[in-house]
Amino acid sequence: MVEARIKELRDTLEMHNYNYYVLSSPTISDFEFDKLMKELQALEKAHPEYADPNSPTQRVGSDLSKDFASIAHKYPMLSLGNTYSEGEVRDFYERVARDLNESFEIIAELKYDGTSISLTYKNGRLTQAVTRGDGTQGDEVTANARTIRSIPLKLMGNDYPEEFEIRGEVLLPWTEFDRLNKEREDQEEPLFANPRNAASGTLKQQNPAIVASRKLDAYFYYLLGENLPADTHYDNLEAARKWGFKIPRVMRKCSTLQEVFDYIAYWDTERKKLPVATDGIVLKVNSLRQQKNLGFTAKSPRWAIAYKFQAERARTKLNFVSFQVGRTGIITPVANLDPVLLAGTIVKRASLHNADIIAGLDLRVGDMVYVEKGGEIIPKIVDVDKEARVESDLERVVFPKDCPICGTSLIRVEGEAAHYCPNDSGCPPQIKGKIEHFVTRKAMNINIGPETIEDLYDAGLVKDVADLYILKICDLLRLERWAEKSANNLMKSLENSKEVPFGRVLYGLGIRYVGETVAKRLVSVFHSIEELEKASFITLTQTDEIGERIAQSVIDYFADERNRILISRLKEYGLRMSVAKDDFENQSDKLKGLSIVISGTFSKYSRDDYKVMIEQHGGKNMGSVSGKTDYILAGENMGPAKLEKAKKLGIKIISEEEFLNMIGQ
């Protein structure tokens, strides 16, 4: 009985460790994870006969991945004990007081919710950046860390130790997180669930250029080494701030437990205004001598503890689970709930992510469930109130084997959590999704909404995007809700769409990974659909910004005969399948040889438009300001760091108007 439970807990925790650290894609909350871990620790303690050196309690998890060099940490990277109540914080405070038996100070800090990093500096220069890994050894990600602007490569002043380590958190600010997810949505890539996953995923990118483009930030909170400047944690961090590190200004010295509680209460709400995600408070004994006296357990220091903010949570009834089929065929289970107020909004639906989550919760229709809004954007079900389950015959929620819409057997790719419907050309939501994408403003700009598409599809009039162009007014008038005027409007809109430039048509086709930017990029090199179709994998990957994944997707698209037929029909109906002469007329070499950095927000055109314009006129758009930059095209709210750098390097800053003048617009 006990042995079986221990095994079950070990297996479950191992799986979650893997999801969290290796896949960067956790499937349960930290709170749940800690609860299971505590249960396992208690059982192992009570039953030492079942001890196992490979138990998840014996390690702190691993984010090791195969492609980076593994580096042993000089000082192990430990984790912190977690607490969830004021009572537990009091216990910690009282234990420290008892063990030290003298007065002490506590430094309260925010617990940043990103991915931890340890930096080594020798003679004032960054020599190494390593992730936490399993706590003993981590991945060497120095090249990536160098791209993070807030990490100093060379220190200021001269009073730093010859060699030291500094630890902190790599973070993706909320605004960048939103921007990145929007971009990924556009490219049909899976979204990051929260900024933490986005930060750790980014830091482990093989290509430092991608890392640089994502604008990570890094906050530091722990200095280690032989000859530190001060004998308190606080003063050491203050010294590090002077050397150029980003040390959060929100840390506070507390001399009483009440001050600690006040800090917690204040930041529980104020933290929501911060630019980065936080998930708790960290309390540390200030004096290094006292830290040393208190020492460490196997996994964490006795002189520090984390207090985790309670994610906002509500209890409500699960009415039923629906299974949605997305444009790309992925099946998403959605919990339909009795409406409940959570963190200021009414929640009626919650994500259940995938089949594993449903099975893990042992979910039944009619269950009372707990919904949480933590670091995630969409609320999720984190627990079931099993005690409230009075009827014993509640129906278990089962994940369907077949597509709920078209009945095709679902597929699950080895190693992936999601199920999807492979019937991409016959499954209605996938077809309708493709049409919806085709008509959007950024693609063909055809004036119809999802409901109309649904009607046209249901009436059997439109089964793919090409069918739109053979619609007849008399067909439309036979349908409900259509009148002469609306039918004429659609005809006009379809006619106008034949003028849409090739780049947008290509984007509208919905080739996987070919978002707006990629489409523009492809069109600038391959001037017609025939040229693109003929391009080999190698030719494609030799194109700037086109990686292997995109190249393969393009190849796969043209390999499918149904797509080739679709394209030839669209061509026959008059859509632009090549770069038109006047597309070229937009081009010049007015910016030839010039490197231009774009910064800030603009009113006349979007940032992406300006990017395209720079390239159309022979210039090069660069992500960061350097000695090679010729101009900075600055909108409103240009980043202060860029501004300062530009001034220092004497780079000319131009406005939108000046830029448009330069290209003769």
**Catalytic machinery residues:** 111
| Span 602-641, contacts to ligand IVH by CB under 6 A | none
- Report which residue's Cβ sits closest to ligand IVH: 116
Under the criterion CB under 6 A, does residue 263 sit at the interface with ligand IVH?
Answer: no
Cβ at position 28, least distance to ligand IVH in Å: 17
Applying CB under 6 A, among 221, 399, 502, 557 the residue interacting with ligand IVH is 221
Token couple for 139: 């991945």
Residue 237 or 487: the one with the smaller Cβ distance to ligand IVH is 237
Nearest CB to ligand IVH, comparing residues 21 and 610 = 21
Interface with ligand IVH (CB under 6 A), residue total: 15
Applying CB under 6 A, does 228 fall inside the site for ligand IVH? Answer: no
**Closest alpha carbon to 574 in 442, 444, 474:** 444
Which parts of 495-554 interact with ligand IVH (CB under 6 A)? none
List all residues 6 or more positions away from 365 whose beta carbon is below 8 Å from its beta carbon. 318, 319, 320, 321, 394, 395, 397
Pick the closer one to ligand IVH by CB: 219 or 526. Answer: 219
557 binds ligand IVH (CB under 6 A): no
Residue 223 interacts with ligand IVH (CB under 6 A): yes or no: no
- Report which DSSP code applies to 68: S
Please report how close the Cβ of residue 34 comes to ligand IVH at its closest, in angstroms: 10
Q: How far apart are CA 2 and CA 44, in angstroms?
A: 10
Can you list the alpha helix ranges (DSSP code H) found in 362-483?
428-439, 450-458, 473-477
Tell me: does residue 222 bind ligand IVH (CB under 6 A).
yes
Binding mask 271-290 for ligand IVH (x = CB under 6 A): -----------x--------
In the complex with ligand IVH, which residue's Cβ is closer, 112 or 507?
A: 112
Rank residues 179 and 252 by Cβ distance to ligand IVH and give the closer one. 252
Residue 618 CB, shortest distance to ligand IVH, in Å, is 46
β 595-599/620-622 pair status: parallel
Identify the residue among 306, 330, 446, 466 touching ligand IVH (CB under 6 A).
306
Determine, following the binding rule CB under 6 A, whether residue 260 of this chain makes contact with ligand IVH.
Answer: no
Residue from 301, 429, 503, 619 binding ligand IVH (CB under 6 A): 301
Query: Residue 79 interacts with ligand IVH (CB under 6 A)?
Result: yes
- Measured torsion, CA atoms of residues 180, 185, 190, 194, in degrees rounded to the nearest 10: 40
**CB neighbours (10 Å) of residue 56?**
22
Long-range contacts of 230-234 (CB under 8 A, 24+ apart): 231/287, 231/288, 231/289, 232/105, 232/286, 232/287, 232/288, 233/107, 233/284, 233/285, 233/286, 233/287, 233/288, 233/291, 234/105, 234/107, 234/286
Report the residue number, 308 or 437, with the smaller CB distance to ligand IVH: 308
Q: Least distance in Å: CB of 301 to ligand IVH?
A: 5
As given in the structure block, the two tokens for residue 252 are 């506070």
Q: Which of 169, 188, 217, 516 binds ligand IVH (CB under 6 A)?
A: 169
Q: Does 469 bind ligand IVH (CB under 6 A)?
A: no
CB of 41 to ligand IVH, least distance (A): 16
Least Å distance, CB 169 to ligand IVH, is 5
| Nearest CA among 499, 474, 497, 496 for reference residue 487 | 474
Single residue of 203, 260, 283, 304 touching ligand IVH by CB under 6 A: 304
Q: For ligand IVH, which is the closer residue by CB, 92 or 222? A: 222
Q: Tell the smallest beta-carbon distance from residue 223 to ligand IVH (Å).
A: 11
Q: What is the largest distance, in Å, between two alpha-carbon atoms of the chain?
A: 91
Q: Is 30 in the site for ligand IVH (CB under 6 A)?
A: no
Shortest approach of ligand IVH to residue 610 CB, angstroms? Answer: 37
Question: What is the C-alpha to C-alpha distance for residues 584 and 590, in angstroms, rounded to an integer?
Answer: 14
CB of 18 to ligand IVH, least distance (A): 18
Residue 533 token pair: 């179709």
Beta-bridge partners for 280: 111, 308
Judged by CB under 6 A, the stretch of 5-13, 47-55, 105-113, 500-508 that binds ligand IVH is 105-113
User: Closest approach of Cβ 248 to ligand IVH, in Å?
Assistant: 7
Catalogue the E-assigned strands of 94-162. 106-112, 115-122, 125-131, 137-139
Question: Which stretch of DSSP H or E encloses residue 195?
Answer: helix 195-203
Window of 107-115, 189-197, 426-434, 487-495 that interacts with ligand IVH by CB under 6 A: 107-115
Single out the segment in contact with ligand IVH by CB under 6 A; choices: 50-58, 108-116, 122-130, 608-616.
108-116
Do 186 and 267 touch, CB atoms closer than 8 A? no
- 52 in helix, strand or coil? coil
Smallest distance, ligand IVH to C-beta of residue 99, A: 17
Q: Pick the binder of ligand IVH from 6, 9, 13, 80 (CB under 6 A).
A: 80
CA 556 to chain centre: 27
In the complex with ligand IVH, the residue whose CB is nearer, 82 or 599, is 82
Nearer to ligand IVH, 113 or 383 (CB): 113
Length of the chain: 665
Smallest separation (angstroms) from ligand IVH to the CB of 289: 16
* Tokens at 472, concatenated: 């007849």
CA distance 80 to 546: 42
Count each helix (H run) and each strand (E run) in the chain, helices first. 25, 22
In a 3-state reduction of DSSP, which class is residue 395?
coil
Q: DSSP per residue over 451-520, as a string?
A: HHHHHHHHTTS-SSGGGGGG--HHHHHTSTT--HHHHHHHHHHHHHHTTS-HHHHHHHTT-TT--HHHHH
Is residue 309 at the binding interface for ligand IVH, with CB under 6 A as the rule? no
Task: Give SS3 for 561.
Answer: helix
Per CB under 6 A, 217 contacts ligand IVH:
no
Rule CB under 6 A: choose which of 111, 204, 364, 642 binds ligand IVH: 111
For 582: left if phi > 0, alpha if psi spans -120 to 50, otherwise beta; the answer is alpha
Site for ligand IVH in 393-422 (CB under 6 A): none
In angstroms, the CA 395 to CA 398 distance is 9
Question: What phi and psi, each to the nearest 5 degrees, are found at residue 396?
Answer: -70, 140
- Check binding of 307 to ligand IVH (CB under 6 A): no
CA contacts within 13 A on the Cβ side of 617:
19
Stretch that binds ligand IVH, among 5-13, 104-112, 171-179, 511-519 (CB under 6 A): 104-112
Residue 456: how many other CB atoms lie within 10 Å: 23
Q: Which of 27, 116, 120, 144 binds ligand IVH (CB under 6 A)?
A: 116
- How far, in Å, CA of 302 to CA of 285, rounded? 9
Single out the residue of 112, 267, 469, 557 in contact with ligand IVH (rule: CB under 6 A). Answer: 112
Residue numbers at the binding site for ligand IVH (CB under 6 A):
78-80, 109, 111-112, 116, 132, 169, 221-222, 282, 301, 304, 306
